[in-house]
């Protein structure tokens, strides 16, 4: 089963759909955070805000790269 790190790797490689599929199948708060990030990358701020809320997080205000680095650190904890 692919992990959230696999989803970040796919997103880094330009595979938005593959990353989204993994995030969509993860019901955890971390999965919701990644799902929010993916929609932020897509440019769908409304959907991203919904998923940030599900994750219990404020919308990230830094760059995509900064958020992914923070997620990698959190997910490998």
Domain CATH number, residue 12: 1.25.40
Q: What are the pLDDT digits (tens) for 56-77?
A: 999 999 999 999 999 999 999 7
Cβ-count burial of 2 within 10 angstroms (0-12 exposed, 13-18 middle, 19+ buried)?
Answer: middle
12 sits in which H/E element: helix 4-12
Which of these, 18, 60, 66, lies nearest to 36 by C-alpha position? Answer: 60
What is the span of the domain harbouring residue 53? 4-76
Which pTM does this prediction carry? Answer: 0.95
Q: What are the pLDDT digits (tens) for 48-58?
A: 999 999 999 99
If one counts the domains in the chain, the total is 1
Q: What are the pLDDT digits (tens) for 6-23?
A: 999 999 999 999 999 999
């Amino acid at each position: 089963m692919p992990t959230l790190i696999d989803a970040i790797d796919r997103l880094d490689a330009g595979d938005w759909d593959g990353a989204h599929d993994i995030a969509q199948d993860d019901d955890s708060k971390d999965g919701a955070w990644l799902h929010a990030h993916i929609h932020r990358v897509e440019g769908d701020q409304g959907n991203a805000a919904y998923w940030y809320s599900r994750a219990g997080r404020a919308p990230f205000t830094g760059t995509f790269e900064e958020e992914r680095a923070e997620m990698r650190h959190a997910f490998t904890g």
